[in-house]
Every structure is written in structure tokens, then in C-alpha cells.
A and B are shown apart, each in its own frame.
Chain A
Amino acid sequence: MNIGEFQTDRSPSGQKAAMETPLLDVRDLSLRIAGNETPLIRDVSFSVRPGERVGIVGESGCGKTMTGLSILRLLPPIGIAASGQVLFEGEDLFALSPGGLRAVRGRDIAMIFQEPMSALDPVFTVGEQIAEAYRAHFAASATEARARAMDALARVGIPAPDKRYFDYPHQLSGGMRQRVMIAMALICSPKLLIADEPTTALDVTVQSQITDLLRDISERTGTALLFITHDLGVVAETCTRVITMYAGEVVEDAPVDDILLAPRHPYTSGLLRSLPGLSPRRGKLPFIPGRVPSLAAMPVGCRFRERCSHAVPACEVYQRMEPVGPMHSTRCGRAGELSLMGAVH
């Protein structure tokens, strides 16, 4: 695949200096439905360094999409109260004015979504939608914006961009639509791209093309990637670090290689073992029994203990994130004594 360089205004030296401070620093993010005792998301903290590719994994309903949307404050305005801090280059996005937030959206942090068909405006051509994203942040003539949009389409591997520019979303295939979304997200050379289940709605054959594209672009341009997915296999191929979420909490945070070799939370281990590609060839595919508890029936203490084969009475008290290695932390009190199965033996 031919992917050109997305223009970037960050000098290499500046990038190195920024390695010390995180690009994105989410601190104690909680989301609560008004009038509801139990939060949807509780004390989520993690960070993304410049150029880093971080995956957030977990089952449906674990709060990973909510976390992604709340970074750019894209949750529906009514009914959900957020607390905590989302620091982007040291600036709290939750404290920004609407105008200040608009300047960050699409410019510094861009986002792509699960369903490219419903995420694109059906009555505008894809080219217009990409050019518009550019003109929202740069003083550019319509002609210049169009040229840049066609360029962006070419760079995400869309053939004949000068023709596809004038297509409406319904005239393109699912994979092409997601490429359009990626072109739109990258046209302003953002520092961080949040990808919310970008491959879930696509054919399996197209999925890996899209993940490859995202990884290549991130590697070439230094754009950091926050990749939200339920598929640990995709994260293993794309990302350098993994954050596992369960029932609205971060339960493990570690480099990809560490997690594949030796997960330190039983839930992560369960996710890994239920991957078809990584499990033993013969026999039944292992799975995690039960389901994510509902908000109303959220267990006190470790939220995973009712589905956990290692649960002991001590798990009934609140578990905090504790470091278990230089870059590795987990929310399991028994992490020290357990030897959990990873994907690579």
C-alpha cells in the first residue's frame, strides 16, 4: 500500500522533548447518569505519550467507547455528568470554553467511528466533508481545500481520488468509507487519533487493511493512536501498549508484549485465551463465563470476581491499580501469587 507522508508541523526535537510529558493524560475520569448512584465509568486514568499507539480493550458495555467519546466531550450533553480531568498537552479539555474545545477537535485530536456509513453526512459528497474539516481550522480557499482533500484521499489508498471526491457516502463500500473517515481525521495532521472500533462494522478481509493503514500512518507521521476495540488480536498487531477495561474500570495497563506473555489480571488472561488465533489448535475455544454485571447489580470490591475462577474472599474489598512491573500495573490483589496464562507460551 502506498502511503505518503501526512504533513506535520512538529519538529523531531520538539517531539523528543515532549516524550517526557504525556500527550494525553486522563485522570480519574468518571461518568455518571444523573440521579444514578453507580457511575458508568469509575476513576479511569491512563496516558498516551506522543506518537504512542495505545489500545483500549474490553467487552461490549465495559465503558471503552464512553471513555473515547468523553475525551473530546462528544457524549450527549444531557443526562451524563463527567468528573475528573482530561489533560491534553497539560491543558484540561473539560475546562475549555466551547470555542477552545472546537479548536482542539479535529485539529489536535481527531476521531473516527465504528459505523462509517452513519458517521458520514449522507447528503454531502465525501470530498466536501473532508475539505470542510480542513477549512474549519485553516484559512484556505475552496480550491486549496479541495486539492488537499484529494491528496488526503490518495494517501489513505483510495484510487482515482479526483473522481471519488464527488461521490456520496452511499456510493462507496464500507472499507472505502472508513478510509474516507481516516482521510478526514488526518487532514489537519492531528497529534492524536482516537479510533473507536474502526473495523467492527467491516468485512474481515477489509479489517486488516484498515488496521495496517492506521498503524502505518501513525508510524510515518508520529500521530499518536488511541485504538478502542474489543479485539485483543487487532491491538496486538497495531499497538504498543494495552489498557484493559472491565465494567467501567481500567483493570490492566501494560506494554503489548508483556500482556501477551504474562497478563497480570484474570480478565485480560481470559480475553487472550478466548482469541481463536492464539488458543491451542484442538478442542473447544475457551470463553469467560457469565456477562458484564449491570449498573444496578455492580458487585462491591473487584467487579470481575463473580466471573473469576481465582476469586477469594479478599476480592470483596475495593481493588486499586497497583504496579507489578516497570510499565505494568493491574487491579488484582492476587496478581503477585497468580501465574496467569498468556497468549504466547
Chain B
Amino acid sequence: MIGSTKQNAILRRLAQAIPVVVIATFLVFSLLKLVPGDIAVTLAGDNASDARIAEIRQIYGLDQPFLGQYFSWLGNVVQGDLSRSLLSGESVGASIARSFPNTLLIVVLAILIALVLGIPLGVVSASRPGGVIDTILLAIGSLGIAVPNFWLAMLLVSFFALNMNWLPATGAVPLTTSISGALAHAILPAVALAAGGVAEVMRQLRSSLVEILGSQHVRTLHAKGLSPSAILWRHSLKNVSVNLLTVTSLLFNRLFAATVVIEAVFAIPGMGSLVVKAAMNRDFPVVQGVVFVMVLVVVGVNLLTDILYRVFDPRVAR
């Protein structure tokens, strides 16, 4: 009974995701059409005749009405075909399959850094709110949120890569080729990406912990004679785990968008680089494909978050 209602809830969430995907891809498609310039002119090469340009338009379906173009793309996607790049002719699915792991590695690493540093700092901050350590951490946290990550990225590159020569400055190595190589390439971009995340996790955790530690049920725990560490680590952290989960999933989605800039600084062939290059050239099947995958990631993360809420908080309706 409980299992089936849980399944229904998940299925309902999946069904709700379909219009999200359609609307998001349609919006991006429309925006691409508003961008000035014509890819048919680019594809036809220099000094091409008007007839040649018209022919190219016809070959790629660019002469079709706007809605027709969108729905034919959508129809192919439903059949599992993300179509081909107008520029290189390469399958969009294959390009994404090549760049997605590079981006995912950086984002996952950045999230791990944000949690591993942010959680202890938040706990330390909350255990003595208004104290010296708390004040210092809050100030550093504000700085972490305020510093632009591309600037931090450039600082990191110039120090760790160029001056000290400890880490590679640019590029990426697939995990399948070399795990240590992949991590060495991913660590600087991940740190640059995580700086704001550490501060955010810390501050959110601090404020929800301070609230919980002042709550009546924590007073009961004191009245039972529990030790401060049991109250903090066992009870309070479980109470704030839902907030932490929300912060983490929002952060994950935001970092996926933020990699566009970071990948540019580190010259990483990831999703960000792919979409930027394609957008510059109005290679819309690639842009559409990347947007589609990104939307799927966001929807997937949100769904996973919803499921985990049920694990962490027994009060979430079944």
C-alpha cells in the first residue's frame, strides 16, 4: 500500500517533468531563431550564390515553418535521435556523450568539496553563534559568495598551474583513460566552482542548526541528560538534513550552469564549451541537444531530491 503510493508519487513527478522539458526546449529554440545571422550563409561558404544558400536551407529543413522545425526535432528526440550538428555533421548524441563526463566530474567534485568543507564549518559556526569563530567564518563566507568564480579560477591557474607547476592549467582527461589524470585536471576547476558553494552550505547549515538547537525538542534532549555531541551530531544534523538536501540540489543545478564560464577559463571540452561554440555558430541542433540533456539533469536531480526527502523526514506525506 505504502509502496504503491510512493511509486505513484514518483510517476506523477515524472509526468510533471514532460511539459517542463517541452517548454524549456521550445523557449531555447525560439530564442535561437531570434538571434541575427543565418547558418545557411555560413555553411554555403564565401561568395556562394543565393541559389546555393536556398538549396542548403532546403537540405537542412531551414526553410520549414518555425513550429514545423521544432516539432520535427522533438519527434526525433522522442525516437532517441538528437540529430546531427549542422557544422560538423557529427551526431549530437555522440558530442554530448564525449563532453558530458568532463562536466559531470567537475560538478560532482565541486559539490563534494562544498559539502566536506561546508558542513563542518557550518556546525562549528552554529555551536557558538555570535562567537569569534562564527563572526570570522561569516565574513569569509560572504567573501566566498561575492568572489566571481572565473576570477578565482584565473588566480588558481596562475598560482598552482603556472607558478608552482603542480597541476595542469588546461584541458581534461577522461576518467576511463586515467583516474589520477582526470582528477588532476578537474581539481582546480572544481575548487573555483565550489568556493561559493562552500559558503552557501556553511551559512544555510548554520542558520538551520541555530534554529534547531534553540528548539523545544532539543531542550527535551538536554533534559534527558544527553551529551552535547549526541544532540548536535545525532539529532540536530538529522533534523536539518532536509534543508541541507535542498541546498545541495539547488547548488548542483546551479553549478551545472556555472561550468560554462569555468570550462572556458580552463579550456575544458565539456557541455559548457560545447553549447557556447554551437550558439556562436547558430548550430541549433547542438544547442537544443545540450539544453535537452541539461533539463533532464535538473529534472532528475529534483526527482532524486524528492525521493530523498521521504527518506530523511518521516513527516513528508506518503
Contacts and interface: CB of A to CB of B under 8 A. Distances in A.
Interface of A: 72, 74, 76, 98, 102-107, 110-111, 113, 115, 118-124, 132-133, 136-137, 168, 170, 181, 184
B314 A106 contact: no
A132 B226 contact: yes
A181 B221 CA distance: 11
Given A122-B315, A123-B315, 20 more contacts: A74-B222, A74-B223, A76-B214, A102-B225, A103-B225, A105-B222, A106-B224, A107-B225, A111-B223, A113-B220, A119-B216, A119-B220, A121-B235, A122-B313, A123-B239, A133-B225, A136-B224, A136-B227, A170-B315, A181-B220
A121 B235 CA distance: 8
A326 to B, nearest CB: 35
A124 B238 CA distance: 9
A263 to B, nearest CB: 32
Nearest to B129: A78
B223 A106 contact: yes
A166 B10 CA distance: 25
Contact of B239 (A76, A121, A181): A121
A138 to B, nearest CB: 11
A119 B219 contact: yes
B226 A136 contact: yes
B223 A110 contact: yes
Contacts of B220: 113, 119-121, 181
Question: A-B pairs with the 10 shortest C-beta distances?
Answer: A106-B225, A105-B225, A106-B224, A118-B216, A133-B224, A168-B314, A111-B223, A121-B217, A119-B220, A102-B225
Given A102-B225, A115-B216, A132-B224, A168 B235 contact: no
A312 B21 CA distance: 81
Interface string B184-227: 00000000000000000000000000000011110111111111
Contacts of B71: none
A247 to B, nearest CB: 25
Contacts of B312: 123
B125 to A, nearest CB: 16
Contacts of A124: 235, 238
Contacts of B224: 105-106, 110, 132-133, 136, 184
Contacts of A132: 224, 226
A186 B237 CA distance: 27
Query: How many of chain B's residues touch chain A, expressed as a range?
Result: 20 to 34
A123 B221 CA distance: 13
Contact of A118 (B217, B221, B223, B314): B217
B225 A122 contact: no
Contacts of B221: 121
Contacts of A122: 217, 239, 313-315
9 contacts: A102-B226, A104-B225, A105-B222, A105-B224, A110-B223, A111-B223, A118-B217, A132-B224, A136-B225
A122 to B, nearest CB: 6
Contacts of A104: 225
Contacts of B214: 76
Contacts of B223: 72, 74, 105-106, 110-111
Interface string B217-253: 1011111111110100001001100000000000000
B311 to A, nearest CB: 11
B60 to A, nearest CB: 56
Contacts of A102: 225-227
B213 to A, nearest CB: 10
A272 B238 CA distance: 46
Nearest to A101: B225
A163 to B, nearest CB: 15
Nearest to B218: A121
A120 B217 contact: yes
A43 B135 CA distance: 38
A76 B313 CA distance: 27
A118 B223 CA distance: 14
A123 B222 contact: no
Contacts of A168: 314-315
A74 to B, nearest CB: 6
A169 to B, nearest CB: 9
A232 to B, nearest CB: 26
Contacts of B225: 102-107, 133, 136-137
User: Which of B214, B223, B227 counts the most chain A CB atoms within 10 A?
Assistant: B223
B227 A123 contact: no
A122 B221 CA distance: 12
Contacts of B239: 121-123
A220 B214 CA distance: 35
A132 B220 CA distance: 12
